[in-house]
């Protein structure tokens, strides 16, 4: 059974114990607008609004807007490692070096390694 954009947002938000307020803040929107998106299938928010919502919920915008994608394939859900790497790629070379040094210190202190 396919789910609408609003249904997906509401289900994911509740599954992750996120509030309407948290989603509204992430999307730089109002609680009432997020509530409208969740409860009225005709409401189609802009890509600029959907991107931060998708990020907060750990899914892609494509998953949210494609009504034929009712179940989230685990491989489509960004992992913490993928999110970390995306942030790492955006760092300046200087900050990457600092982070590498921090990881070296943690490794020296006996952190678990894979």
CA dist 32 and 26 (Å) reads 14
Predicted confidence (pLDDT) per residue in 13-61, tens digit: 998 899 999 999 999 999 999 999 999 866 688 888 899 998 888 888 8
CA dist 71 and 77 (Å) reads 11
Give the phi and the psi of residue 75 in degrees, each rounded to 5. Answer: -70, -20
Helices within the chain (DSSP H only): 5-15, 20-26, 31-39, 47-57, 61-65, 80-90, 93-108
CB atoms within 10 A of CB 49: 17
Class of domain 5-72: mainly alpha
| For the chain, domain boundaries | 5-72, 79-114
Question: What pTM was computed for the model?
Answer: 0.62
């Amino acid at each position: 059974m396919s789910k609408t954009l609003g249904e997906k947002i509401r289900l994911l938000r509740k599954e992750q114990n996120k509030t309407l307020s948290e989603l509204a803040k992430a999307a730089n929107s109002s609680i009432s607008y997020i509530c409208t998106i969740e409860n009225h299938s005709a409401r189609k928010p802009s890509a600029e609004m959907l991107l931060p919502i998708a990020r907060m919920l750990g899914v892609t915008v494509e998953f949210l807007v494609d009504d034929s994608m009712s179940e989230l394939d685990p491989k489509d859900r960004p992992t913490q490692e993928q999110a970390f790497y995306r942030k790492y790629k955006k760092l300046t070379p200087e900050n990457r070096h600092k982070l590498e040094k921090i990881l070296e210190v943690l490794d020296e202190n006996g952190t678990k390694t894979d």
